[in-house]
Structure 1
Amino acid sequence: MTGLTFAEPLPGLGQLIDFELNPVAGADGLFSLHALDAPEKRLYLLDAGMHLPDYQPVISDAQAALIKAVGPDEVATFVVANHHDGALTVNLLAPIVVNTVTDICAQVILEGQDYAIRHELKVLSPA
């Protein structure tokens, strides 16, 4: 379990900024993120570095400053996962970036980058 503080509240979740990030048992790289003051407010996040190796978002200097990141090695990137119209999708256009040193994070909009809001994940069947 990791405590995270958002530099700015997430859209649609009021003024909540303090969250807890927990791994989902049996699902490497999948996490639940819930608000400390409202545990029913929950999102599911996918570790982009683990599951989306071709996803290479570039955050601006202002976005890095927002989470107080000094360099790219201090930034972990997660994408919000949703079940939409019978498919599992992730939002590649607005990832959640986390400063791995300070645990300050933010959801950022990747301006000028060609990523989808609803990128469908391919589910692999067990061999």
Structure 2
Amino acid sequence: MKINTKFFGEIEIEEEKIINFPNGIIGFEDLKRFVLIDHPGSDTIKWLQSVEEKDFALPVVDPLSFFPDYEPVINESDLKNLKLNSIEDGVVLCILTVPKNPESTTVNLKAPIVLNPLNRLGDQLIAENPDYQIKQPVKIFTESLKES
């Protein structure tokens, strides 16, 4: 199927690549269907693109790329809703916030995106770890990110 996107124009995606978010994303609960798109020129950054709203896309990263000790504690019932037995059975991504000055980029470690790739389910969940911040500074300088 074809979808329109803000950053990539019209793209072709496979139906089986669509991830369903029954609860939406925090603050955007009405958006339920997303696809992951690779960021050109980056192995680290992906975009969580809404299938329903072309202007809604979030840059996401594997937090372990920057924080190797990242181990979010997630409520067991939230994991069960995603049909996961443990966080290790899923894919964990964190949302980047990139201001005009990319040197001030932050990552949200407090509310990771957790995916069950087998069932194509996703949710933004709250990590119970008290030390994790919503705006954790991260050093992520790539020319391709600055061009976005």
Normalised by the size of structure 2, how large is the TM-score?
Answer: 0.75
The equivalent of 1:54 in structure 2 is 69
Give distance in 1, aligned partners of 2:22 and 2:130. 22
The answer to whether residue 71 in structure 2 is matched with residue 45 in structure 1 is: no
1:29 to partner: Cα distance: 2.4
CA offset digits 1:95-124 (Å, max 9, x no partner): 000112112010001124320110111246
Alignment: residue pair count:
126
Give distance in 2, aligned partners of 1:27 and 1:4. 22
The equivalent of 1:116 in structure 2 is 133
The equivalent of 1:33 in structure 2 is 48
Q: Unaligned regions of 5+ residues in structure 2, if any?
A: 1-12, 143-148
RMSD: 2.2
Q: Which has the higher helix share?
A: 2
The answer to whether residue 33 in structure 2 is matched with residue 4 in structure 1 is: no
Give distance in 2, aligned partners of 1:53 and 1:18. 29
The answer to whether residue 115 in structure 2 is matched with residue 98 in structure 1 is: yes
The answer to whether residue 95 in structure 2 is matched with residue 80 in structure 1 is: yes
Larger Rg: 2
Residues 70 and 123 from structure 1, CA distance in 2 versus in 1: closer, same or farther, beyond 3 angstroms? closer
CA offset digits 1:59-87 (Å, max 9, x no partner): 12111112111344421100000124731
1:50 to partner: Cα distance: 3.5
The answer to whether residue 30 in structure 2 is matched with residue 15 in structure 1 is: yes
Residues 27 and 101 from structure 1, CA distance in 2 versus in 1: closer, same or farther, beyond 3 angstroms? same
Q: Unaligned regions of 5+ residues in structure 1, if any?
A: none
Residues 14 and 65 from structure 1, CA distance in 2 versus in 1: closer, same or farther, beyond 3 angstroms? closer
* Runs of 4+ residues deviating >4 angstroms: none
Does structure 2 conserve the Cα–Cα contact (< 8 Å) formed by 1:22 and 1:33?
Answer: yes
Does structure 2 conserve the Cα–Cα contact (< 8 Å) formed by 1:66 and 1:106?
Answer: no
Identity level (%): 26
